Amino acid sequence: MNIEMKKIKLLISDVDGVWTDGTFLKGTDGMEFKRFTVLDGVGTAMARAAGLRIALISGRYSLATEYRAKELKIEDVYNGGLNKIHAYKELKAKYNLDDSEIAYIGDDLIDIPVMEKVAVPIAVENASSEVKAIAAYTTKISGGKGAFREAVAWIIEEKGETEMVMQKMKEKVLNS
């Protein structure tokens, strides 16, 4: 696979199994709880510092996903559509991008149709073997444990922008 990492402008991510370990708790009142890690929040800040857009496409609707995305100021959230190609095509059109400018991180079978289209398909460590088989990169960290942040750091490193991003992150912290 010949990947031109410098062209990547958008990182699309699945949620359940990537931002979480795939587990959710549901009470008898229907209230749902998910556990997110702060590490992936740092990953969003790193992506922004590198000029990468972030979008979430989740096959399962979850209010917890919406709240987490809002907290992290992720505007493009497609929540509850098993056919992720529709959201993918919408994002491409919205940002006038082609497949060569997009990376996607996923963990299971419903992620494969999008992963087969993007320039940089990424699997989390605990992804299904089918997803790992088509991934350009597999994280060393499992979903829900900071895999999204690791994927962002890998993209930034491959683009040769680690030092620039770290400097921007330090400046942001010092100026807040």
Structure tokens belonging to residue 1: 């696979």
Structure tokens belonging to residue 15: 């949620």
* pLDDT 10s digits, 88-124: 999 999 999 999 999 999 999 999 999 999 999 999 9
Q: Which residues contact 67 (CB under 8 A, 6 or more apart)?
A: none
pTM reported for the whole predicted model: 0.94
What Rg, from alpha-carbon coordinates, does the chain have?
15
Structure tokens belonging to residue 71: 């907290």
Q: Are strands 32-33 and 25-26 parallel, antiparallel or unpaired?
A: antiparallel
Give the residue carrying structure tokens 């400097």: 167
H or E segment and range at residue 134: helix 129-134
* pLDDT 10s digits, 148-164: 999 999 999 999 999 99
SS3 call for 16: coil
In order of their start, the domains of the chain are 5-174 (3.40.50.1000)
* pLDDT 10s digits, 56-95: 999 999 999 999 999 999 999 999 989 999 999 999 999 9
